[in-house]
């Protein structure tokens, strides 16, 4: 059974399901997905996500602020407030947080400070932090090291081996999305081959980045097996083995205190 460690259940295109998220999750379960972590991008996402998680035993969620949010929103994410939001059992992680200089460099200092506060909160509640990085790999690694963050996921990984090794050395897990299945992603698959099997996770990042053969279409959790399939050749494992390994890795991450 597969785990989608990073999906945005409040953002999915539900038109094929008559607007019913429950039907989309049912389809994913039929495809072999047994657990879903729905990720917050805004502090208020926790309200809708808590309601979804309450209806589904196999759904957990994160709390936090995406680095592309505005400075005022990031400022609301104090360490104390994040700790408060992270108390429910169904909150499995903090984030997604991190740094994104691709979309804007207007709030770099605010992004860095907010990222650090997410790490502090994760250390207090002993839950992993979900890290986004784009065009900011060096600063991302520097903050992870400086804050002595050892419990986290570098999600939707697209960076080089140097970056992967740096976060792995800190104790992080590396999560691959549908990008690893793209025909032009051989360099990424070459990096993946060097990542220890016990630190690999898979995700959809749905509704974004649908894997082959659905590239360009709206993504959803039922496609996460295609991400695992893309890694089978990388690691010379069967699909069943990749499902088991990545599911066990996620369980290990959540149980780490």
Per the annotation, where are the binding residues for a divalent metal cation?
6, 8, 96, 132, 155, 205
Nearest-angstrom CA–CA distance, 227 and 223: 7
Report the chain's terminal Cα–Cα distance, integer Å: 24
Most distant CA pair in the chain: distance in Å? 47
Distances (CA, A) of 91 to 53, 135, 166, 167, 170: 9, 28, 27, 23, 23
Q: What DSSP string describes 94-148?
A: EEEEEEETTT-STTHHHHHHHHHHHHHHHHHHT--EEEEEES-HHHHHHHHHHTT
Distances (CA, A) of 242 to 143, 149, 195, 198: 31, 27, 14, 11
Nearest-angstrom CA–CA distance, 235 and 33: 21
What dihedral do alpha carbons 236, 242, 245, 247 form, nearest 10°? 170
Annotated binding site: 6, 8, 96, 132, 155, 205
For 23, phi and psi rounded to 5 degrees? -70, -40
What residues does 152 pair with on adjacent strands? Answer: 129
């Amino acid at each position: 059974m597969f785990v989608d460690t990073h999906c945005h259940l409040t953002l999915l295109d539900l038109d094929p399901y008559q607007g019913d998220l429950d039907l989309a999750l049912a389809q994913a379960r039929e495809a072999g997905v047994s657990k879903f972590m729905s990720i917050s991008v805004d502090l208020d996402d926790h309200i809708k996500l808590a309601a979804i998680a309450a209806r589904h035993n196999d759904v957990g969620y994160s709390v936090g602020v995406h680095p592309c949010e505005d400075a005022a929103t990031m400022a609301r994410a104090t360490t104390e407030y994040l700790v408060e939001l992270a108390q429910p059992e169904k909150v499995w992680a903090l984030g997604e947080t991190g740094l994104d200089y691709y979309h804007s460099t207007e709030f770099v200092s605010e992004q860095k400070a907010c990222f650090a506060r997410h790490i502090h909160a994760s250390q207090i509640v002993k839950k992993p932090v979900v890290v986004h990085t784009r065009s900011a790999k060096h600063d991302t690694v520097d903050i992870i090291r400086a804050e002595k963050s050892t419990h986290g996921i570098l999600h939707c990984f697209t960076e080089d081996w140097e970056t992967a090794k740096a976060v792995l050395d800190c104790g992080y897990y590396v999560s691959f999305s549908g990008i690893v299945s793209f025909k032009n992603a051989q360099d990424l698959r070459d990096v993946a081959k060097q990542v220890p099997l016990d630190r690999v996770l898979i995700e959809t990042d749905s509704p974004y980045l649908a894997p082959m053969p659905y590239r360009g279409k709206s993504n959803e959790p039922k496609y996460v097996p295609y991400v695992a399939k893309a890694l089978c050749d990388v690691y010379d494992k069967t699909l069943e083995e990749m499902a088991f390994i990545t599911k066990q890795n996620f369980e290990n991450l959540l149980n780490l205190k």
